């Protein structure tokens, strides 16, 4: 929401209408009464947390989830009333701030609870107990630990068990053996609690889209598919409704030159022309998140694919143009031009990673521009 003037033409265009569409369609897909927790951690997977959160809330999300205390405080400044859950670890020292700002914390250690009990809190602190049913990341792993934790929390007037949740490691895979094992473990853990907390939740994108509706429980944690991306190739073949992607990445040609056979381009002179070639320079480099491994990746110019050639520099890189174009010609790195499209999934494949990572690592130097269409 910061209004600063951008001079450099490199920008990520975020289509908030796509986010809205994805939330609305998910709402239709969910069991009645299930709440949508919009996952806006990591600056909303690189899309811009405040703008995405506002759009998701407008479309029907009733809770927000983040990963860190800093992210929660940033969101709270803009949304005074919405429920915010920190999915990851928050240190004991953050508890008074969480209580004051009505931020819900994830808890998985009785020690942590005992230390928080020794502090003065201005308001009651809401907690969601995390159960590790097989992810092996954070969470209690035995019913005994769960009971101890539950008792430690309920014996304090200032601490409230508001929710309980787990996270699936293989929900996006075709083989359901491990997933089913996690589900039954979760069921067993929650049924051992003396009182069902207000919100039980387990579903990430893959679970809410392709698994039994029962696993939506009271709320779902809507992450990657809110941004229009499928969590895996397998889930992509099973989507219950079409997703719309929100993220595109654009810049402009800042220089165009004709080079002759034998002339080279970039650090290490790794590209050498074998015929007269038009070379374009674009102002985006590895400090923007276009890591050097993307060399060879295509971009779009006038609806045609053009490869990034040579080594990517910190702030710039060069592309092999199909023809002579003018300075200022639009270059699309991710997104559509005419009948061609370069997707985030294509970028992910190029550097052998998952689509989640692609927009996340586009750095803050690239302004996010919001397009409501
Ligand atoms: C990030 C995260 C999610 C969102 O997962 P998606 O696959 O992006 O939907 C859900 N739950 C937890 C605990 C997470 O850390």
- Residue-range domain boundaries for the chain: 16-228, 247-342
Binding residues for substrate: 137, 314
Ligand 1 centre distance from Cα of residue 84 (Å): 14
DSSP state of 13: E
Please count the CA atoms within 13 angstroms of the CA of 241 that sit on its side-chain side. Answer: 18
Distance CA 209, CA 200 (A): 18
Active site residue 45: no
Give the Cα separation of 297 and 238 in Å (integer): 28
| Ligand 1 center to 232 CA (angstroms) | 13
Measure 205 CA to ligand 1 centroid, in angstroms.
7
Residue nearest to atom 1 of ligand 1 (CA): 223
User: Does residue 27 carry a catalytic annotation?
Assistant: no
Atom of ligand 1 nearest to the CA of 172: 7
Indicate which residue's Cα is closest to atom 14 of ligand 1.
Answer: 87
pTM score of the predicted model: 0.97
Question: 111 CA distance to ligand 1 centroid (A)?
Answer: 26
Active-site residue (options: 77, 100, 196, 267): 267
Residue 221 Cα to ligand 1 midpoint, Å, equals 6
Handedness of CA 53, 56, 62, 64 (dihedral sign): negative
- Options 41, 126, 130, 211, the catalytic residue: 41
Size (the chain), residues: 373
Strand stretches in the chain, DSSP E: 11-15, 35-39, 63-66, 83-86, 103-107, 125-131, 159-166, 199-203, 219-222, 247-252, 255-259, 264-265, 271-272, 277-282, 298-301, 304-309, 317-321, 330-337, 340-342, 368-371
The yes or no reply on domain 16-228 and CATH 1.20.1180.10 is no
Closest atom, ligand 1, to C-alpha of 87:
13
Superfamily covering domain 247-342: Lyase, Ornithine Decarboxylase; Chain A, domain 1 (2.40.37.10)
In degrees, rounded to 5, the angle at the alpha carbon of residue 127 between the alpha carbons of residues 44 and 134 is 70
Q: What is the pLDDT along the chain (373 residues), one digit of tens a residue?
A: 456 789 999 999 999 999 999 999 999 999 999 999 999 999 999 999 999 999 999 999 999 999 999 999 999 999 999 999 999 999 999 999 999 999 999 999 999 999 999 999 999 999 999 999 999 999 999 999 999 999 999 999 999 999 999 999 999 999 999 999 999 999 999 999 999 999 999 999 999 999 999 999 999 999 999 999 999 999 999 999 999 999 999 999 999 999 999 999 999 999 999 999 999 999 999 999 999 999 999 999 999 999 999 999 999 999 999 999 999 999 999 999 999 999 999 999 999 999 999 999 999 999 999 986 5
- Distance between CA atoms of residues 199 and 196, nearest Å: 8
Please report the atom of ligand 1 found closest to the CA of residue 45.
8
Residues having CB within 6 Å of any atom of ligand 1: 39, 41, 87, 167, 204-205, 221, 223-224, 231
Encode 20-38 in three state secondary structure. HHHHHHHHHHCCCCCEEEE
Q: Do 16-228 and 247-342 come out as alike in CATH topology?
A: no
30, 36, 39, best to mutate for ligand 1 pocket (most atoms within 8 Å of CB): 39
């Amino acid at each position: 929401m910061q209004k600063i003037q951008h001079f450099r033409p490199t920008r990520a265009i975020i289509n908030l209408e796509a986010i809205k569409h994805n939330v609305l369609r998910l709402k239709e897909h969910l069991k009645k009464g299930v709440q949508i927790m919009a996952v806006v951690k990591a600056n909303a997977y690189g899309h811009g947390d405040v703008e995405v959160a506002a759009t998701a809330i407008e479309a029907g999300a009733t809770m927000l989830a983040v990963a860190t205390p800093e992210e929660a405080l940033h969101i709270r400044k803009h949304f005074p009333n919405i429920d915010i859950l920190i999915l990851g670890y928050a240190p004991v020292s953050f508890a008074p701030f969480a209580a004051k700002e009505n931020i819900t914390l994830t808890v998985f250690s009785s020690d942590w609870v005992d230390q928080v009990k020794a502090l003065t809190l201005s308001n009651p602190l809401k907690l969601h107990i995390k159960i590790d049913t097989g992810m092996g990341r954070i969470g209690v792993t035995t019913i005994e630990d769960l009971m101890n934790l539950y008792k430690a929390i309920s014996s304090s007037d200032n601490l409230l068990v508001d929710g309980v949740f787990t996270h699936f490691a293989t929900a996006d895979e075709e083989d359901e053996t491990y997933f089913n094992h996690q589900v039954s473990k979760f069921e067993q853990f929650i049924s051992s609690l003396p009182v069902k907390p207000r919100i039980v939740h387990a579903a990430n994108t893959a679970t809410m889209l392709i698994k039994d509706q029962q696993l939506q429980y009271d709320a779902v944690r809507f992450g990657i598919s809110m941004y229009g991306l499928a969590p895996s190739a397998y889930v992509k073949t099973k989507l219950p409704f079409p997703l719309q992607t929100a993220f595109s990445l654009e810049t402009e040609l800042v220089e165009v030159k004709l080079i002759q056979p034998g002339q080279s381009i970039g650090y290490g002179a790794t590209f050498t022309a074998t015929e007269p070639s038009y070379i374009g320079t674009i102002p985006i480099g590895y400090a923007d998140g276009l890591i050097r491994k993307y060399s060879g990746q295509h971009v779009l110019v006038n609806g045609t694919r053009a490869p990034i050639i040579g080594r990517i520099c910190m702030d710039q890189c060069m592309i092999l143009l199909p023809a002579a174009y003018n300075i200022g010609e639009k270059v699309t790195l991710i997104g559509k031009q005419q009948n061609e499209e370069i997707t985030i999934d294509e970028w992910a494949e190029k550097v052998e990673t998952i689509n989640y990572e692609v927009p996340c690592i586009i750095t803050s130097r690239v302004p996010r521009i919001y397009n409501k269409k």
